[in-house]
Amino acid sequence: MTETPKNPQPLGGNAMPRFGGPGTMMRLPAHESAADLDACFVGVPLDIGTSNRPGARYGPREIRNESVLLRPYNMATRAAPFNALKVADIGDIAINTFNMAASLEIIERAYDEILGHDCVPLTLGGDHTIALPILRAMKSKYGPVGMVHIDAHSDTSEAMFGESITHGTPFRRAVEEGLLNGERVVQIGLRGSGYSANDFDWARDQGFRVVPADECWHKSLTPLLEEIRGSLGPGPVYLSFDIDGIDPAFAGGTGTPEVGGLTSIQALEIIRGCQGLDLVGADLVEVAPVYDTSGNTSLLAANLLFEMLCVLPGVKSS
């Protein structure tokens, strides 16, 4: 009689107090690579693309720290992701913190390898620059992808201080390099002061649907996500979640906070509304724990990453 191999499970609070045990995401087993995994948590501790307050390099570690409180079952959606998928934490990518160009290469190669194992990466950032090499790897495997992008900022600037690779430019480069299908990109939560109307209009000119934060105020976003599922349709979609899309009242631990943002509840609605999309990867970026005295930003980030896991293809909800 052959037994079905048991999937890796998070270490439970009845087996080890939540303040003890391994430092992995959700206290999952640590794996050397993505081999034999359906999905993995992976950290990219890079913040040399940051324009204002630095510190997102500490994001992966602190998100893992706050993730100790997460339990394996989603009480709201009835998703039991660890029953459906083999998931582990494969640690951090060894970026070169002194060299952005080298780091981009390192990240892209690492994601080539993860995708080579047919594993869906759930990334703990790191600043938003890391989305560019990740999308390069996605293009190699899937061709141009669609994207659901939550952020206070469009991240489609031409350059910052003359530099083309920064956390404010990844999606401009991604369009130029043909990594994204602009007609299948939606940006949610954009706001704040800008340099000119063109800050957001460039994205619209590429076919992106832009949903500014003020169009989300006082509303459930569940109907918006239903629309988005319809317009994105089948085909690979990448989910990129900048924590600064959320209001600083809920997530102040970030480098470029903007007032008037989304609520934690709207964040859950967005991610839960991604169920049914062909998600091929997701990230949660820009958590800078040093500005997060309560730990709430990292706690929210950890929960959002769990929610992302709960909507991956193959995981059932109620």
Residues found near Mn ion in the complex (CB under 5 A): 128, 151-153, 155, 242, 244
Q: In whole angstroms, how close is the CB of 307 to Mn ion at the nearest point?
A: 19
CB of 243 to Mn ion, least distance (A): 8
Q: Name which of 166, 27, 189 is nearest 103 in CA terms.
A: 166
Q: Which is nearer to Mn ion, 128 or 272 (CB)?
A: 128
With contact defined as beta carbons under 8 Å apart, do 279 and 229 qualify?
A: no
CB of 286 to Mn ion, least distance (A): 6
Tell me the closest approach of the beta carbon of residue 270 to Mn ion, in angstroms.
Answer: 15
Would you state the structure tokens that stand for residue 79, as one six-digit string?
């998703």
Nearer to Mn ion, 87 or 131 (CB): 131
DSSP string, 85-121: S-EEEEEE----TT-HHHHHHHHHHHHHHHHHTT-EE
Tokens 């957001």 -> residue = 200
For residue 150, give the nearest of 297, 282, 298 by alpha carbon: 282
- For residue 57, give the DSSP letter: G
d(CA 72, CA 82): 7
For the CB of residue 56, give the shortest distance to Mn ion in the complex, in Å.
10
Rounded Cα distance, 13 and 283, in Å: 26
User: Which C-beta is closer to Mn ion: that of 77 or that of 187?
Assistant: 187
Tell the smallest beta-carbon distance from residue 235 to Mn ion (Å).
23
Decide: helix, strand or coil at residue 252: coil
Query: Which lies closer to Mn ion via its Cβ, residue 90 or residue 186?
Result: 186
Please say which residue, 116 or 192, places its beta carbon nearer to Mn ion.
192
Nearer to Mn ion, 31 or 128 (CB): 128
